[in-house]
Amino acid sequence: MFERAAIVRGLGSDEVSVDWERLRAAARAVVANAYAPYSRVHVGAAGLVDDGRVVVGCNVENASYGLSLCAECGVASALHAGGGGRLVALSVVAGDGDFLAPCGRCRQILWEVGGPELLVDAGGEPVRLATLLPGAFGPSDLVTRAEGD
Ligand code: THU
């Protein structure tokens, strides 16, 4: 559906050049497919993968309310369904096209697929996921805290 984007890396792993307008456009395109009859808050998300793929997702609500899926869940699923990889940048928008801050649960889900370095659209300067989820629990905690091995 989407072309691969060029990822430009400098010497430091934190130097990634992201075409934010392109990422936002992908999020705005998929927001049209959101299924949100209950909240009527339509959300679209687009993530740039470390191999240049752009993966997208939209929120999918449920009559039980609590089982509703956020747009970022769709991104995580599309990432793996498309072959895996690591998210390097993410843009989430609402129906008005403006950025929307990922909810707390989604920050944890994003931690798994993008880690602390993930760049998140914040309307102006992008922020690292580590800033949005300080002191996070993650995969490394399972390695260091598991007993009986
Ligand atoms: N929503 C998302 O898709 N992502 C977020 O990070 C915040 C909230 C959705 C869930 C629900 O369908 C609607 O927005 C209102 O909460």
Checking if the pLDDT of 12 tops 60, the result is no
Q: Where are the alpha helices (DSSP H) in 55-103?
A: 71-81
- Separation of 122 CA from ligand 1 center, angstroms? 16
The CA–CA distances, whole Å, from 135 to 49, 73, 105, 138, 145 equal 24, 22, 15, 9, 16
Q: Which of 15, 21, 61, 72 is catalytic?
A: 72
d(CA 27, CA 84): 19
Task: Find out whether the beta carbon of 121 lies less than 6 Å from any atom of ligand 1.
Answer: no
Structure tokens that stand for 33 in this block:
């497919």
Helix, coil or strand: residue 57: strand
Is residue 21 within 8 Å of 29, Cβ to Cβ? Answer: no
pLDDT of residue 5: 56
Indicate if 125 belongs to the active site: no
d(CA 55, CA 74): 9
Checking if the pLDDT of 45 tops 60, the result is yes
Checking if the pLDDT of 20 tops 80, the result is yes
pTM above 0.85, yes or no: yes
Over the stretch 71-89, which tens digit does the pLDDT of each residue have? 999 999 999 999 999 999 9
Structure tokens that stand for 55 in this block:
């993966």
